[in-house]
Structure 1
């Protein structure tokens, strides 16, 4: 697509061609308009060891290295941006765990998938000599005695704290103004993702009508119609004077109707930024193809002014289309979720400088910024200032004056917002002889910006020092982190810069809001060696081709009963080690949660489904099925459980279908049908039953899909069914999910030990996975010592009965809502988090913290506020997507420990837990 050029388009094109020609000519470096494009000699091989592996689910995958470049960048660099080598070589790069998280650098509250990516960037940082540099807070408000009353980031940190404590009902907005380094949303995308993970997402934020340049990614913008739009930018020779504010770009049309389209999934609020002026036309708004409202863009007075219009987005909306008719000028659209969280606006102008942003019409700049109500404004320029200084096109005094004025405009427009100035990064130039040298003046500009930030009451971040100081650009180029123009980082370099800035922000926040994370609540699989050695040895033998079965039984509460987590874990493990069958399914009501695993249940007639949380009176007492459930059927009632509905048939596969039931004195002998064939009744026991007894009946089956039907005969007593299981006589893994909603470790403790242990032994587990603790966290008077003793005793008993190894999963984050609607941590969550690692140690089990994997303190709230929610509104349970993210993190840590043990070593830092 192409937008109509301004009237100076041909002049600009000729100027660029002339500049390129002079730059490749044999002239002294100072007379070249652009850095030398001549490349004499090889730059040396790229360091493949720095190529990062692909990210896990839940973390954005590396994007194509198409960086937005300034007008100063040579066309060859623009071409390279779209053809550069992929950054996702899975065979190269630092593996997870090579760079353990260092306490205090800001990694403490990242979810497991994001922490994986952060650790990779930490490994890259160490290799490149980049540094963790703290933000210089400076002072924005002084007391009468001259001491500082409020530092430069205080409003932003307070807003984040209010989000954390659920005391804020509006978004926390950041407006990040910069140059080509962020024009394609590199650097800022990492910061946005991390902040939204920690504090919740408030939506995408400000987006342009269309992308600003052919280079770079199509991001932070809509998709405009093919022609008819005229784009004018503050960086143009004839910029749109007296019209645009900090948004920096005007998209205008005066002919036939022109449109642009946005994806708005997850957004509930939108706002159009436009110029109201006399005799203007209108904008038709359509949501999912249906017209919803028309916005008139004409001014009510004689003067043009920045204006805004709210747009209606119904729940579930997917697309927003704007069609401009008549004379109109649009500046962009903001999209928000309408919920508390982070909104991070990125406005990167190719060739941006402080002087460029000062070209904005002052009233429009103030109006747009004030209307946005930011808690933080970030100013990220300096690269082009340093370039122009090196070409003697400006002076240091002019650079100082321009930054002083820009800081003043921001502080005046939004006096209650925090502001932060970033230094330019390092860059290089190529001499006429082909030598690579550091570009002059970056450090001088950085120092000027530091001084003006301090004088203006803004915080300051030394990006140059974080990158590694002067000369680092040359090292980054050799390592494949910079484009050949020696000015713009590639994707990996940008990700590293975003990573360093994010952690600096997080450290600043932790100064006044330290995370309340128990020392034992860390990510990764702890105590894997020697707790899981035999299980890992069996998996290694299975992977090597041994014909054996590996059984895993997971016991727990609703997180287990939901099946979403265990289904994902089962899928991942059976894909690697083989599928030996679906395992155990409890008797019960039909459930859509079983559909993904091709399992179904039916209940016909009168059935009572009882659970172990509240034992009813009756002869069966505390005897329950493996999940703490039993289904009691009246005469004439029938129950069915079907496995592998819709699976591809394999008539050669042999297996076994087991039915778990309860025989009791006076109970009816049920009629059993397997795959439509009636099973002959068993002979009555030689001695009449005097007490309830668990009976497991096993039936050989052929094929993949099987079903069992149990009918209670008419005219007799009731019958009790506990569940059924299906296994194949093929090598592989069986993963049982044995969960009871609302259960605690005390629930399992109080169930009939002999009956439960006998059933568990019949499942032949090699590994017992225990996932209790989330419901214990809700008990106000929880006895932590009693939990430690009883839970350890329960695990010890079951291990003795089965001979299995054990692994404990700690609770997810759990919140409770008070009378004012504010979310607070569950009353005993900290007790549970401090107790369960000791329970695991006492029982000789491995330990994995689900809460730490989610991101630690108040992570449930952040998971609730994701664009696609990962946490349920009840503050307790996860969505299916959330369970999938958590399961992926669990499998990754489990397999990292497995691989390390298989190689004969201890688990890596990631597998052993990273602080």
Structure 2
């Protein structure tokens, strides 16, 4: 009779199998992609004397003092197949965030803790991770959390855990505060010599946090077996010495544990596939009588590095690589000793170096020359150093070739050397994994010593301020190697996992790191910044009704007026919206254009302005006191006698008699104002009759002229008597369609508009008669250091209510701020101080005023989106504005959401419309 535990496992297995069948079926079915569960130079101590100098200019490998095996008591790393036949393993897709399951991932530091560590993975990588999860459950593997340890103790206890520097570096990547790679140095034994285990961890970290490139590569494989993915393609004559050799020269070996040498009389070369790398850093020994290294870019001479120096000292040369390069070749001349090459792409992402040697243990890496180890480790500037040993210690202990005290002292010294070399880096110690031995009777039993070494390493990690991960327990504890062997996941040597087993170990370690990272994120209030167009069905019903009527060919008009700051004033965003809406619903004219100087930004919409004579262009931000009369954009042009302002609409358009149009002039009249001489297309217009009573204060005047067609020139000349103040002009076609007025003032906030003289704004809004007001403020508010949310909500809300009333009951749409970043003195980026306040308050303002709401920041991608848009050429270098292409992209995103809401409206129209059959 099955036990309760067996029944539970059977149930889980059936559930997994059924889930896999469903997931695979849906993924292969002809359904939309969204419904598929599995979607488709010089550096270093030598100094500037070793700067690279620019010039134009198969036998068996020989080993120096190397025995056939790295350690006569330790086997070489086996060559594992890259692909292994696998059993069908059930995969369960994690629940979506919307369903209340696993959160989106560590890219949101304020997200809930990821219980499994799968956050940030997607597509094939997620599918692979889920298969490994199921495999781990089948094999009895366990999710073991990292023991973070304590780097620094204080009066109140631990003040900094062992992985704090690494996690802070990762967070700095996401927050744009870091412009250099986050490097990991993973030192280990044969388990990682062929980049098994570490390949999974590297791929996952780079998927979550960005890739900084391949990282450190050997010249050639340090052994005769295993994969060569972390090495170049070398000529056969290189000689090498290794820390794992029986009697290596301890005054020569580098931190990587291997030195590759070319003699005076031989010419050797090594070739590296560059891929996306933009820099190559070459690590070498500068020595008396040293030769040189010629660098070839796709076979063409690129640079030469000189390697002569007295006394001998490790050095490095950083070389910039040409864009599009495929292959980098290094060719020796004279005596040369290379230690490796690092290839990086120059991006702030993760670089994960694998430094693994068969037969290595902690004491072996102590054979590296201490000054060289320190200098080269510091040159790498790692954020994390992983020490992965223990298997060979346990092997030696099981044979009584060493004692626990010797293991402890060697491990302590290696941790001490790492901490002293890179004191700002985090460190993490692995335990050994399980292994088995076969008795004289042929029985398989767990190898003695694995748990004892694991306990020693745990103690050493705790004493040294390092984190610790118990890989032995994660594998399934002592005895698990026997089960892995029977499942084809362990080699016949009973020590080394095969590729599938290595992948599982890498998977378990990655998830442990991810869970620790997510759990250690500092608490923060998540910004309420939902994507999409909100409340459109309620707030934009009249707008949608007019759109529907225009689509039906009915004689109506949709007037839109957008108020805002520089995003609106640039015209790129509004030109895109106007063009798309007019093409679909009809063009009812360019609409209102503010007075001002000539601007190329008006050219795409066929408008040009010109000021001649003495003019002063004033705006509501630069002029005090408040309460003055301004144009809708917060700008006015004041001209002295004889000054002329000209504006041309539809410049370059073909002459047309129809349709009829209305050309309107907006100006300020009042005490001391000069007389206007107005011309339309060169023809003088009779003067405006004086008002019944003289104006005692500046008052908005609007005069319209009937004209044929869209192409016209309006000129205004000050005929004397005082200054004239022009606010703007408009061209409206007398036919069905859309007008889209864009009135923006760079640097403005909602408070800027609220401080303008209200009657002047009301008069202009009444003349324009918009059916929809679009408000786009918040970007400049986000830069204010002490913005009060309650004041913002009250004042912005009052402004919206007043302008809606002045426009005759227009509907309203509030656009949320774009993402905005400001640059620190050291060049990194951070959010503007009140961005969170604005993002949280604006949806509330829109809801309270009955407006629809659309978050530009969410459409851009949310947190730190501006930095991503900058990389794509869509965000301006100032962290505030967008490029023309960026504004066009953003407008397209709004149009898509507007279209979606409009189509939903047509499917479910209000009862009145439905009864009319519209």
TM-superposed CA distance for 1:810, in Å, is: 3.9
Is 2:161 aligned against 1:154? no
Is 2:191 aligned against 1:191? no
> 1: distance between equivalents of 2:218 and 2:855?
44
Contact 2:285 2:337 in 1 (8 A): yes
C-alpha offsets along residues 194-228 of structure 1, whole Å, 9 cap, x if unaligned?
A: 547xxxx9x65836599999xxx99999xx99989
> 2: distance between equivalents of 1:71 and 1:640?
80
**In angstroms, what is the RMSD of aligned CA positions?**
7.1
Show the counterpart of 1:505.
517
> 2: distance between equivalents of 1:498 and 1:53?
32
Contact 2:218 2:230 in 1 (8 A): no
Matches within 5 A, 1:670-685: 670-672=678-680, 678=681, 680=683, 682=685, 684-685=687-688
Change (3 A) 1:373 1:751: same
Match of 2:24 among 47, 61, 78: 47
TM-superposed CA distance for 1:839, in Å, is: 1.9
Show the counterpart of 1:273.
283
Change (3 A) 1:525 1:167: closer
Show the counterpart of 1:345.
351
Is 2:532 aligned against 1:522? no
TM-superposed CA distance for 1:508, in Å, is: 1.4
Show the counterpart of 2:292.
282
Contact 1:352 1:381 in 2 (8 A): no
> 1: distance between equivalents of 2:752 and 2:578?
25
> 2: distance between equivalents of 1:497 and 1:148?
24
Is 2:341 aligned against 1:332? yes
Show the counterpart of 1:720.
726
C-alpha offsets along residues 245-279 of structure 1, whole Å, 9 cap, x if unaligned?
A: 56688788753887879699998xx7432344554
Matches within 5 A, 1:787-802: 787-800=792-805, 801=807
Show the counterpart of 2:776.
771
Show the counterpart of 1:83.
none
State the SS of the aligned residue for 2:665: strand
Show the counterpart of 1:629.
635
TM-superposed CA distance for 1:362, in Å, is: 2.4
> 1: distance between equivalents of 2:476 and 2:678?
76
Show the counterpart of 2:148.
137
Matches within 5 A, 1:730-809: 737-753=742-758, 755-756=760-761, 767-779=772-784, 784-800=789-805, 801=807, 803-809=810-816
> 1: distance between equivalents of 2:655 and 2:431?
69
State the SS of the aligned residue for 1:841: helix
Is 2:728 aligned against 1:711? no
> 2: distance between equivalents of 1:396 and 1:494?
29
Contact 2:82 2:499 in 1 (8 A): no
Where do 5+ consecutive residues of structure 2 fail to align?
Answer: 1-19, 41-76, 87-92, 112-117, 135-141, 435-444, 490-497, 910-918
C-alpha offsets along residues 878-907 of structure 1, whole Å, 9 cap, x if unaligned?
A: 5668767877876777778778888889xx
Show the counterpart of 1:374.
382
State the SS of the aligned residue for 2:385: strand
Change (3 A) 1:125 1:624: farther
TM-superposed CA distance for 1:614, in Å, is: 3.9
> 2: distance between equivalents of 1:855 and 1:898?
23
Change (3 A) 1:397 1:695: farther
Where do 5+ consecutive residues of structure 1 fail to align?
Answer: 1-42, 56-60, 63-69, 81-92, 427-439, 478-483, 673-677, 906-915
Contact 1:245 1:362 in 2 (8 A): yes
Match of 2:307 among 292, 297, 322: 297
State the SS of the aligned residue for 1:671: strand
Contact 1:248 1:360 in 2 (8 A): no
Contact 1:288 1:317 in 2 (8 A): no
Change (3 A) 1:506 1:239: farther
Contact 1:589 1:601 in 2 (8 A): no
Change (3 A) 1:177 1:884: farther
TM-superposed CA distance for 1:622, in Å, is: 1.3
C-alpha offsets along residues 141-175 of structure 1, whole Å, 9 cap, x if unaligned?
A: 66899x75642113445667899999999876444
TM-superposed CA distance for 1:745, in Å, is: 0.7
Is 2:418 aligned against 1:413? yes
State the SS of the aligned residue for 2:676: coil
Show the counterpart of 2:315.
307
Change (3 A) 1:342 1:763: same
Show the counterpart of 2:665.
661
C-alpha offsets along residues 278-330 of structure 1, whole Å, 9 cap, x if unaligned?
A: 544324679999999753124534x6x6422355899x999997864415455
TM-superposed CA distance for 1:748, in Å, is: 1.7
Contact 1:553 1:768 in 2 (8 A): yes
Count of residue correspondences = 767
C-alpha offsets along residues 723-754 of structure 1, whole Å, 9 cap, x if unaligned?
A: 556889798x8765532111111122233545
State the SS of the aligned residue for 1:670: strand
Show the counterpart of 1:456.
461
> 2: distance between equivalents of 1:468 and 1:728?
80
> 2: distance between equivalents of 1:683 and 1:591?
29
Contact 1:659 1:696 in 2 (8 A): yes
Contact 1:225 1:258 in 2 (8 A): yes
Show the counterpart of 1:561.
569
C-alpha offsets along residues 701-729 of structure 1, whole Å, 9 cap, x if unaligned?
A: 47xxxx65443448567572525568897
> 2: distance between equivalents of 1:238 and 1:868?
53
Higher mean C-alpha displacement, 841-850 vs 560-569: 560-569
> 2: distance between equivalents of 1:141 and 1:125?
38
Contact 1:182 1:346 in 2 (8 A): no
> 2: distance between equivalents of 1:495 and 1:575?
54
TM-superposed CA distance for 1:624, in Å, is: 0.4
TM-superposed CA distance for 1:188, in Å, is: 3.6
Higher mean C-alpha displacement, 176-185 vs 661-670: 176-185
TM-superposed CA distance for 1:358, in Å, is: 6.1
Contact 1:594 1:600 in 2 (8 A): yes
Task: Normalising by structure 2, report the TM-score.
Answer: 0.60
Show the counterpart of 1:692.
700
Show the counterpart of 2:494.
none
> 2: distance between equivalents of 1:566 and 1:898?
19
Say which structure, 1 or 2, has more relative contact order (CA 8 Å, 6+ apart): 1
C-alpha offsets along residues 397-427 of structure 1, whole Å, 9 cap, x if unaligned?
A: 999999997896355223422123579999x
State the SS of the aligned residue for 1:692: strand
C-alpha offsets along residues 308-353 of structure 1, whole Å, 9 cap, x if unaligned?
A: 2355899x9999978644154552246586xxx9553222579999
Larger radius of gyration: 2
Matches within 5 A, 1:831-842: 831-842=837-848
Matches within 5 A, 1:881-900: none
C-alpha offsets along residues 4-63 of structure 1, whole Å, 9 cap, x if unaligned?
A: xxxxxxxxxxxxxxxxxxxxxxxxxxxxxxxxxxxxxxx9797265699999xxxxx98x
Contact 1:283 1:296 in 2 (8 A): yes
State the SS of the aligned residue for 1:509: coil
> 1: distance between equivalents of 2:220 and 2:732?
55
> 2: distance between equivalents of 1:567 and 1:286?
50
Change (3 A) 1:368 1:816: closer
Show the counterpart of 2:617.
609
Show the counterpart of 1:910.
none
